[in-house]
Every structure is written in C-alpha cells, then in structure tokens.
C-alpha cells in the first residue's frame, strides 16, 4: 500500500513540476519585443517635437539624452548624439 501511494505521489509531483516549468517558460520576453518597446518609446518622446530638438527620457532606470531625428519611415525618433572624434 505504501509503495502505491508513494508512486502516485511521485507521479503527481512530477506532473505539477512540469506544468510549473512550462508556464514559466512562456513569460520570457524576446529581444525583438524589447527592441520594439524601446523604439515605440523613442518615437513617443519625439511626439509634438521638432527635428533637432533636444530630448531626454528614462527607460528602466537609465536616463537617455539625444535629439529628435527622422527615421527610415520619415517619423521623428530619438537619436543619441554622435560620439566625439578626437
């Protein structure tokens, strides 16, 4: 009797663990989703701004400074300043 109960408990525990692992795997965000969110935020920052206007925004605790420049689609998007050449 103990053997049957132990086997049933072990099998049910393994099933629950597999469901937990499968559920956790679904919540990972891909790099493209993060990139798209960042691009949308960069375009939102430049909404109602003029080309070349200085803007700054905060994303995940990091402050970004730059200007609004047209992207490949012709819409204004945040662009960081070019690095200084020495």
The CA distance from 77 to 41, in Å, is 9
pLDDT in tens, 23-57: 555 555 566 667 788 889 899 999 999 999 999 99
Residues with Cβ < 8 Å from 45, sequence gap 6 or more? Answer: 55, 57, 68, 78
CB of 55 closer than 8 Å to CB of 43: no
CB of 52 closer than 8 Å to CB of 68: yes
* pLDDT computed for residue 78 by the predictor: 92
* pLDDT computed for residue 45 by the predictor: 92
Token match 């375009």: residue?
A: 43
User: pLDDT at residue 86 above 60?
Assistant: yes
Ranges of each domain in the chain: 44-86
């Amino acid at each position: 009797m103990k053997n049957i109960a132990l086997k049933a408990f072990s099998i049910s525990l393994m099933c629950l663990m597999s469901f937990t692992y499968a559920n956790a795997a679904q919540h990972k965000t891909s790099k493209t989703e993060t990139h798209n969110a960042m691009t949308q935020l960069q375009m939102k920052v430049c909404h109602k701004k003029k080309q070349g206007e200085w803007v700054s925004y905060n994303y995940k605790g990091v402050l970004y400074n730059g200007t609004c420049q047209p992207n490949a689609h012709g819409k204004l998007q945040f662009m960081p300043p070019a690095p200084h050449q020495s």
